[in-house]
Amino acid sequence: MKEIRLKQEERFSIKLTHQIDQGEFRRIDVYFSLPKEMSINKNTLPEIDYFNAGVRTRSAYFTQGLHLPLLHSRFASRMKHSAYEYRNHLNLFAYQYVTALDTDTKDALKINDSDKLQDFYNAAQEIANHSIVILGKTRAHAPKDPKLAAIFENVDNYLSWYTEQSLLGMLAKKPRVSEFSEDRLALLRLCKNENLYRQEKAYNSQASLDDPNRIANKMRLLRRLIEYGVIFKTETLALGNITRKVVTGVATALIMSVVLVLIIKTQGAFSTLTSLMVFILAIIYGVREVFKDDFKNILWQWIRKGKPKWAKTLIDPTSKTELAKQKIWLDYIKAGNLPVKTRQLLAKRNMQNKQSSEILHSRIETKVVRQGFQPGYDTLEETIDFSLLPFARYLERGSGKLYEQNEASSNKEKIKTTSIERRYQINVVIALDQGRYTEQFERYKITLNRSGIIAIEKAGKAAIEDKPESGRYSKLRTLLHFKKDR
């Protein structure tokens, strides 16, 4: 599936990323096949609880290349050094750079420590080189206007610090091998140069530099300033509140009508108030209380069946323009209600994995406006994080032991004991633009235990958490190619 990507984000979360053009409509369906043995259903984990705790979306402007129009003098002169536009475009560039750097460093860390770390250091050196080139080009176009210079210094300060932290973090997580001491020292020199650069520019006070907590909090503040105006503001509205009130009123009216009819008939049968009449009236009111909520829930589910539960509006935080509207579904559905192609994909599972399961279905429909984007941008990127942490508390801890004869021991009668862990497999089917001519379907297998996600595999193909080869880091490399000024 070329238009949407699924990756592991954190220990217990998966991330879907896709781009939507101006004026485009996009529908994404995600089907979680949860084994019955996990005991997850609408009673133990209601949809609204999972939506609030396990689903996070984030949207921002997107461009394929390094799109900071202010790097071109023609754009700077045309906009007459507007501080408002300068801040917006600079923040967009910084956000794209940080996102690309995060993606590449995570991919580099997935490289196995085999082959004497050669692949890892090649990848790390490539990331470092691309980062330095991008930062150098940005600094070459630093503005002279004092108002714009203050905005630039904040962004430059954070990008320099974050680049240094990313490179140091990669090196800290890999073992030190004497054979690659020169490669390691080269990367450390680049980090040192960035540190000296910030000192020469006097970006941070000595008090901040001497206190790790203080400098980290300052950088966190700069990060929030960069993301403001980039990540869209989201307004979420729960749908059906008015309908629920109407359903409650109608259900109560219908139940009371039946109750009144029974009361009238009871009074007709008993001319005087007797103990039997009181007893019968008590039974009538008791039955009403028993069936009132059940009847209301049945009526509510019948009316709301197949309808979205939430609506979202994506708003540009700077211009306050509505850029997109979304409708969101989240329901447990029966296996018989699955689309034909989804059932076909799940049917291709190995025989031992074809166990009964609960199906949790999420759908997001997005309609992007045709006008209102900031100049130079015509695409937004949306990231959907599905946390599997709410599922984790239903998983059993590793239990049991595996016994085998220890052939390596000199004592042939010695038995080797190994503790085993309980693992679960969740099948996820992602449907893009289902029901349209261009629809696409993909299936993934997620293996997890109480400690986190162990592996994510694309059905019938190699694991998507693969081991990247050196020289294939497209994010930062793509940023090196400037788009033409629009």
The model's pTM is 0.76
Q: Where are the beta strands (DSSP E) in 209-298?
A: 233-238
Residue 413 or 203, more confident: 203
pLDDT cut 70: percent of the chain above it: 81
d(CA 376, CA 23): 15
Interval 369-374 mean pLDDT: 83
Q: Residue 385: exposed, middle, or buried by beta-carbon count in 10 A (0-12, 13-18, 19+)?
A: middle
Spatial contact of 81 and 143, defined as CB atoms under 8 Å apart: yes
Spatial contact of 429 and 346, defined as CB atoms under 8 Å apart: yes
d(CA 476, CA 470): 13
pLDDT tops 60 at residue 208: yes
Residue 462 or 183, more confident: 183
Per residue in 86-125, pLDDT (tens digit) is 887 788 888 888 888 888 888 888 887 666 678 888 888 8
Strands 401-405, 415-419: parallel, antiparallel or unpaired by DSSP? antiparallel
State residue 363 phi and psi, 5-degree precision: -135, 135
User: What are the structure tokens assigned to 263, written together?
Assistant: 């009361």
d(CA 457, CA 71): 41
Interval 23-28 mean pLDDT: 90
Per residue in 59-83, pLDDT (tens digit) is 888 766 543 333 443 344 444 557 7
d(CA 427, CA 35): 9
Per residue in 279-289, pLDDT (tens digit) is 777 777 777 77
Query: pLDDT band at 461, cuts 50/70/90?
Result: very low
Task: Determine the residue type at 50.
Answer: Y
Residue 462 confidence (pLDDT): 40
Spatial contact of 329 and 309, defined as CB atoms under 8 Å apart: yes
User: What are the structure tokens assigned to 40, written together?
Assistant: 């997850």
CA 148 to chain centre: 34
Rg (CA), the chain: 30
Per residue in 218-273, pLDDT (tens digit) is 999 999 888 887 888 888 887 766 766 776 777 777 777 777 777 777 666 666 65
